Amino acid sequence: MLMVQASLDGILLGILFALIAYGMALQWGVMNIINIAQGDLVILGGYIAYTMYLAGIHPAWGVIVSPIIMYFIGVLLYKLVINKVVDRDLFISILATFGIAIVFQQLMNFIFGADVVVAQSEYGTTMLFDNSVTLPNSKIFSAFISVLYAVALVIYMKKSRLGRAIRATAQNARAAKILGVDTEKVYAATFGINAALCGIAGALISITLTLHPYVGLPYTVRSFMIVIVAGLGNLPAVALSGMGLGLFEEFADYILGTEFRIGAVFMLLVFILVYRRFKLSKKREYLK
Amino acid sequence: MSKIKQKDLILYSGLIILGLAAPYLFSAFKVQLTYLCVLIVLAMTWNLQGGEMGYNTFGNILFYGLGMYLTASVQVGMFFPLAEWTESGGEKTFVHTTAQYFQGIGVGLLVSAVIPAIVAGAIGYAILGLRGHYFAICTLGLGIAAGEIAGGIEIIGAGQGFTTPPFPAEIVDTEARGKFFYFLSFALLISTFVFVKYIYGSRFKLILNAIRDNEDKAEAMGIQTMKYKITGWMCSAFFCGLAGGIMGGLIGYIDSTDVAFDGREMGVFMVLMAILGGKGTLWGPVIGATLFHFFKEGLWTLILGWQYVALGVLIVVIVIYFPEGLMGWLREKYPERFGEVIDEKDRKAQVELK
């Protein structure tokens, strides 16, 4: 039964990771930046929901409020920093967002304190298979909301004017500019949407997992990993590899012990990169 | 030529005399000076990697932390059972004699230089096949994974840390500890500088530059790039391990994520210092590290609690506005000083074009 428990936990968690990874793929594909602060945006979104919880509002409303606030934070961040790294070397964007991540961590530490917190959703738990598998309803809720938002976003990207502009810019920024797309606005909106996705994921994490100012980086690495496995702009693959990662983590947790969980995630990243490097080097190519 | 060499000679001997006199002149700042030496070493080794070879790594912290753990483990393990030492305040039951302490740290430092270099060589083939940002992220993952894993291993203290052997109590001179670690780090600094300077005059540096500028073309020219990349990384690892070993002894306490595999501080500092001074120059990292250290020590106490916010902002500002660093800026301004011949006509023509 432990296997079933771990599998279900892993899949539900993986859907959440896939949502963050989708934001990562979006900004990477459109703006060609790697955002190390991704995980910290997630945690910030979580703290917004947690603040609502402290104020007496049910934290589940965070999945609506948090993305709205995070969108504006994302746009602000773009105007302040990100717009200066868009056309430059990827390493510059990595370092610059690393700096942003440190600032965010510390500010969250000041504002919300260094304690591990969780917002109680009081959704109860579902018992399966004669009570041998426990499944918190909040996890089911979070997976459901993630899927809902992901589908909504895909439709939005396909149908809306901004969505088309974003896709055009991703294909060829210069051509899009010539055809009258205001790429600067598109970039700002893309980063805002990414931050909003992080906000949703954060609000869901605040009710399903725990929040702490310094746990952002593992989320960044998870989303990075999902994107390099799935490729940019391949949503079903993102969802699948997200679930795969969730499964891996839950099983690593059971087999190796909780203290090695984060270490296992980071080692998996190294292994995936090295595996892909050896596979590509047979064709005398390398990861680009 | 001979005139320049004479100037260099005066400069170097002046700096060495200053370095030797520093602990007596600024007696109260010996620990800070030791830190400075270690920071310069880290910046220079990072520069060998990120600046010359173009492989921007966040993972040199791996070798630094490894060196720290290795030195302390060897120092303890040579004379006492390691597991009992780390279990419950073992440093109180077992006491190193003076001879044991120095023997231990000597062997420990040797091990802490060799093992990281071997590790770098072993993982080099796999990791250095990655390029650009994939390499950066992969090494970032390695550094953090190492910290997380070290924090779960019982024999080296796991989560509650590892107290390194205290300086022998038989030596009565209270200044001795500070001086010992200062001169140790100063010796490391000089040997690193001499080594890097030697590399700067060699064919090896040109090959590293070729790899940085265009690896495919370098390969097409018949350079076995992988061989040189691994060698370059092993050189970095060697000195990083030594720096870590000295720091472990100086701090006296090793924690897996906050002291040894401290990607949040040391891991970023070494990148930042090299970039601040100027990547790909001999003096850049030295100047960058010195400036950074003064800035940090000056500001850290003034803005208590806000230091990480300041650090983050500093990273963003340096990376966005001064990606070429101080030396790069000087080079732009006074190219003649750097031995670059500028065609005046060409320069004017370029200005007009703008």
Chain segment B137-169, per-residue pLDDT in tens: 888 888 888 888 888 777 777 667 777 787 877
Q: What is the predicted pLDDT for the residue at B131?
A: 83
Q: Are B257 and B147 in contact (CB under 8 A)?
A: yes
**Residue A267 sits at the chain B interface (C-beta within 8 Å):** yes
Asked if B115 contacts B66 with a C-beta cutoff of 8 angstroms, the reply is yes
Q: What is the pLDDT of residue A195?
A: 93
The answer to whether B280 touches B49, Cβ cutoff 8 Å, is no
Can you say how many angstroms the Cα of residue A78 is from the centroid of all Cα atoms in its chain?
A: 17
In this prediction, residue B348 carries a pLDDT of 66
pLDDT the model gives residue B27 = 75
> Can you tell me the mean pLDDT for A74-93?
86
Name residues whose C-beta falls within 8 Å of residue B120's C-beta, 6 or more positions apart in sequence: B63, B230, B233, B234, B236, B237
Nearest CA among B337, B329, B246 for reference residue B33 = B246
- Which range marks the domain in which residue B221 is found? 34-264
Mean pLDDT over each residue of chain A, to the nearest integer: 86
Q: What angle do CA B124, B47, B206 make, to 5 degrees?
A: 80
Pick from A99, A139, A107: nearest CA to A123? A139
Which residues, 6 or more positions from B169, have their beta carbon under 8 angstroms from its beta carbon? B95
Instruction: Say yes or no to pLDDT of A72 above 90.
Output: yes
Task: Tell me if A47 sits within 8 A of A275, measured CB to CB.
Answer: no
pLDDT value, residue A200: 92
Return the structure tokens found at B353.
């074009």
- Mutating which of A86, A225, A277 best tests the B interface, going by the most B Cβ atoms within 10 A? A277
pLDDT at A188: 92
What pLDDT digit, counting tens, does each position of A214-246 carry?
888 889 888 888 988 887 767 788 888 888 888
Within a domain: B346:
no
Q: What is the DSSP string of A57-82?
A: S-GGGHHHHHHHHHHHHHHHHHHHTG
Does some domain include residue B276? no
One-letter amino acid of A62: G
Residue A219 has a CB neighbour count (10 Å cut-off) of: 25
Task: List, for residues B304-322, the tens digit of each pLDDT value.
Answer: 778 788 888 888 888 888 8
Radius of gyration for chain B, computed over Cα atoms and rounded to the nearest angstrom: 21
Element (H, E) at A133: strand A133-136
A68, pLDDT greater than 90: yes
CA–CA dist B352, B346 (Å, integer): 10
Q: What is the pLDDT of residue A76?
A: 93
> Would you say residue B344 lies in a domain?
no
Using one digit for the tens of pLDDT, what is the confidence trace for B58-109? Answer: 888 889 989 988 888 888 888 777 777 776 666 666 777 778 888 888 898 9
Three-class SS state of A37: coil
- DSSP, collapsed to helix, strand or coil, labels residue A117 as strand
User: What's the DSSP call for residue B335?
Assistant: G
Q: What is the model's pLDDT at position B4? A: 62
Q: What is the pLDDT of residues B270-306, one digit of tens each?
A: 888 888 888 888 888 898 898 888 888 877 777 777 8
**Residue A107 with chain B: CB contacts under 8 Å:** 309
> How many other C-beta atoms can be found within 10 angstroms of the C-beta atom of residue B304?
8
- Percent of chain A whose pLDDT exceeds 90: 15
Diameter over CA atoms, chain B: 77
Q: Which residues of chain A have a CB within 8 Å of the CB of B56?
A: 91
Cβ–Cβ gap A102/B126 under 8 Å: no
For CA atoms B198, B200, B205, B206, the dihedral sign is negative
Write out the two tokens for B139: 């090494």
Is the pLDDT at B3 greater than 60? The verdict is no
Cβ–Cβ contact A86 with B under 8 A: no
Strands B162-163 and A133-136: unpaired
pLDDT of residue B249: 85
Q: Where does the pLDDT of residue B1 fall: very low under 50, low under 70, confident under 90, or very high at 90 and above?
A: very low
Backbone φ/ψ region at B53: left (φ over 0), alpha (ψ -120 to 50), beta:
alpha
pTM for this prediction: 0.86
Residue A224 neighbours by CB under 8 Å, 6+ apart: A21, A24, A34, A38, A269, B137
Tell me the C-alpha distance between A6 and B218, whole Å: 49
- On average, the pLDDT of chain B sits at 83
Pair A132, A3: CB distance under 8 Å? no
Two tokens at B106?
């000597």
User: Cα separation of A96 and B326, whole Å?
Assistant: 18
Residue B128's nearest CA partner among A273, A282, A264, A91 is A273
**Residue contact B130–A269, C-beta within 8 A:** no
Q: What digits encode the pLDDT tens for the residues A157-209?
A: 889 999 999 888 888 888 988 998 888 899 999 999 999 999 999 999 988 88
What's the distance, CA B136 to chain centroid? 17
Residue B217 makes CB contacts below 8 A (sequence gap 6+) with B210
pLDDT digits (tens, 9 = 90+) for A114-166: 888 887 777 777 777 767 777 888 888 888 888 899 889 889 988 999 999 98
pLDDT of residue A192: 93
Cβ under 8 Å to B: A residues 19-58: 34
Task: Tell me how far apart the alpha carbons of residues A277 and B180 are, in angstroms, rounded to a whole number.
Answer: 45
Chain B residues with CB within 8 Å of chain A CB: 56, 126-127, 129-134, 136-138, 140-142, 144-145, 148-149, 151-152, 159, 264, 268, 271, 275, 305-306, 308-309, 311-316, 319-320, 323
The more confidently predicted of residues B241 and B8 is B241
Does residue B291 fall inside a structural domain?
no
Q: Which of A27, A86, A103 to mutate to test the interface with B (most CBs of B within 10 A)?
A: A103
Averaged pLDDT for residues B237-246: 91
Domain count, chain B: 1
Q: Which residue in the set A91, A100, A257 is minimally distant from B133, CB to CB?
A: A91
H-type helices in B78-166, by residue range?
A: 82-87, 90-93, 98-127, 132-150
Out of A104, A105, A287, name the one closest to residue B130 (CB).
A287
Mean pLDDT lowest among A246-260, B124-138, B255-269: B255-269
B52 within 8 A of B233, measured Cβ to Cβ: no
pLDDT score of B352: 59
CB B119 within 8 A of CB B109: no
> Residue B52: helix, strand or coil by DSSP?
helix
CA dist A13 and A63 (Å) reads 16
Residue B16 lies in a domain: no
